[in-house]
Amino acid sequence: MEFALWSVIVGLLLVLMALAGSVLRRLPVSTAMLYLLVGLAVSPLGLQLVAPEAVGNAPVLERIAEVAVLLSLFTAGLKLSPGLRDRRWALPVRLAVNAMVLTVGLIAIAAWLFLDLPLGACILLGAILAPTDPVLASEVQLQDPGDQDRLRFALTGEGGLNDGSAFPFVMLGLGLLGLHDLGTWGWRWIVQDVLWATAAGLGVGWLLGIAVGRLVLHLRREHKEALGLDDFLALGLIALSYGCALLLHAYGFLAVFAAGVAMRRLERRQAGGEASLPAVEQALVDPDLSVADNVAVDRKHAPAFMARAVLAFNEQAEHIGEVAAVIAIGTLLWAVAWDAAAWWFVPLLLLLIRPLAVRLGLGGARVLRGQRWLIGWFGIRGVGSLYYLMFAINHGLPAALADRMVALTLTVVVASIVVHGISVTPLMGAYERALRRGARPQR
């Protein structure tokens, strides 16, 4: 009976989203807010179908969040079409490095001064809450690879990069708590956790994205093989790049993001330009499968078809990952020992630390005031923070610290889902209207 009830709930939710998706995009309500309510409804606060606790269910929760983040990172990478020398990359890189370090530091200082946490826990809390979320930020990210908007490009690139660039600080926090070997004077942390893991993660993802993409295009163009099952191609490349990175003790999140960027870059270099888009779009919706196969093996259209088909599938898989992860967050809220400090900590993070870190991190950059303000506001926290929290718990975080971290993290995540979910439609709508009036240049 319980399984049947779950089937009804999940089925109704998915059908509702399919029917009302276009309406929700016009309302100041995000899909994540609805998923959060569903999680609350099935928890002991509602129907009592499940009663998970963050610490007791940390292994399962880590995997759910991990899969959701991986799907979103690959999607984000596929949306970023400019070459690495394009000046637009300067904004997401500065956000993922400069603003990330500043955010971790400012959160750690606040926790040290006002939350009475040990230094390692302060840095760990900063690392958990610093990364912006690629899963819940789809509405402020690039809508398609041809989108040239600098604001959306910056937020998409930041979400793809900083879920990996936060990892060194997670390891530093765990090391200062005695849960990870930092080496004498921190040499192991610098060499392995910062330099090697970052460079190897980006490198292995880029190489695999290029290699797999070239192999598929060769088989399709020269031998009319490897047709169909682009969903397998997407999932396979995600798993391959992530697994290889972990085996090399590198950051798998960066590898998956780099694989997506590499596949898109390969498509841009080999595709027939904008002329391929009409043929590709028509092939993807044509009920006659032979039309898609013909475009897939066409020497000019094959790269664009491969990238577009992989992206189309991955975007749908990303939505399913978001459903599972956000519902899981909602089911945890019944058991949280809410921290009174959250009343001031959440606005401090969202209204002061994030905007200040963005302003300092982008100092000197050619960014319009309105774009800088929106970048500072849309520092969405979500599934990525849940992953890092569960990762830390599964690496031996003491129970007392774990309970405190759970309360602070989930408070920030829930607040972000609500306030950013309410504000994203009107703010981005106003921004798009200003762009159409020519009030803000694209580049």
What is the phi-psi region of residue 80: left when phi exceeds 0, alpha when psi lies from -120 to 50, beta otherwise?
beta
CB 59 within 8 A of CB 295: no
Residue 272 is predicted with a pLDDT of 58
Does residue 443 form part of some domain? no
Which tokens belong to 333? 């809220």
Where in 328-399 does DSSP place strands (E)?
none
Separation of alpha carbons 258 and 251, rounded Å: 11
* pLDDT for 390 beyond 80: yes
Give residues with Cβ within 8 angstroms of 209, minimum separation 6.
Answer: 77, 237, 241, 258, 259, 260, 261, 262, 263, 266
Q: Residues 116-130: pLDDT tens digits?
A: 999 999 999 999 999
Angle, CA 329 vertex, CA 326 and CA 331 arms, to 5°: 115
> What's 226's DSSP letter?
S
Q: Are 225 and 185 in contact (CB under 8 A)?
A: no
314: left (phi > 0), else alpha (psi -120 to 50), else beta? alpha
- Residue 173 belongs to some domain of the structure: yes
Residue 18 lies in a domain: yes
DSSP 61-90: HHHHHHHHHHHHHHHHHHH--S-TTSGGGH
pLDDT class of 442 with cuts at 50, 70, 90: very low
Q: Please, what is the end-to-end C-alpha distance for the chain in angstroms? A: 57
* Cβ proximity of 385 and 409 under 8 Å: yes
For residues 362 and 99, is the Cβ–Cβ distance under 8 A?
yes
Q: What DSSP string describes 250-277?
A: S-HHHHHHHHHHHHHHHHHHHS-GGGHH
Residues counted in the chain: 443
How many folded domains does the chain comprise? 1
441 pLDDT higher than 60: no
pLDDT at 113: 94
Q: How confident is the model at residue 273 (pLDDT cuts 50, 70, 90)?
A: low
pLDDT at 324: 92
Q: Where residue 274 falls among pLDDT bands split at 50, 70, 90?
A: low
48 lies in some domain: yes
In Å, how far from its chain's centre is CA 265? Answer: 20
CB 250 within 8 A of CB 201: yes
- What is the distance between the alpha carbons of residues 224 and 231, in angstroms, rounded to a whole number? 18
pLDDT-derived band at 81 (thresholds 50, 70, 90) equals confident
In which residue are the tokens 């070239």 written? 214
Q: Is the residue at 442 inside a domain?
A: no
Give the pLDDT band of residue 201 (cuts 50, 70, 90): very high
Residue 441 lies in a domain: no
Measured distance CA(424)–CA(141) in Å, rounded: 11
Alpha-carbon distances of 371 from 141, 142, 360, rounded to whole Å: 13, 14, 14
Average pLDDT over residues 377-387: 93
Residue 368, C-beta contacts closer than 8 angstroms, at least 6 positions apart: 440, 441
- Choose among 392, 413, 360: nearest CA to 94: 360
> What local confidence, expressed as pLDDT, does residue 290 receive?
75
- Let me know if residue 57 belongs to a domain: yes
Assign residue 103 the CATH number of its domain: 1.20.1530.20
User: Could you give the CA distance from residue 169 to residue 120 in angstroms, rounded to a whole number?
Assistant: 10
Q: Is residue 244 part of a domain?
A: yes
* Structural domain of 68: 2-436
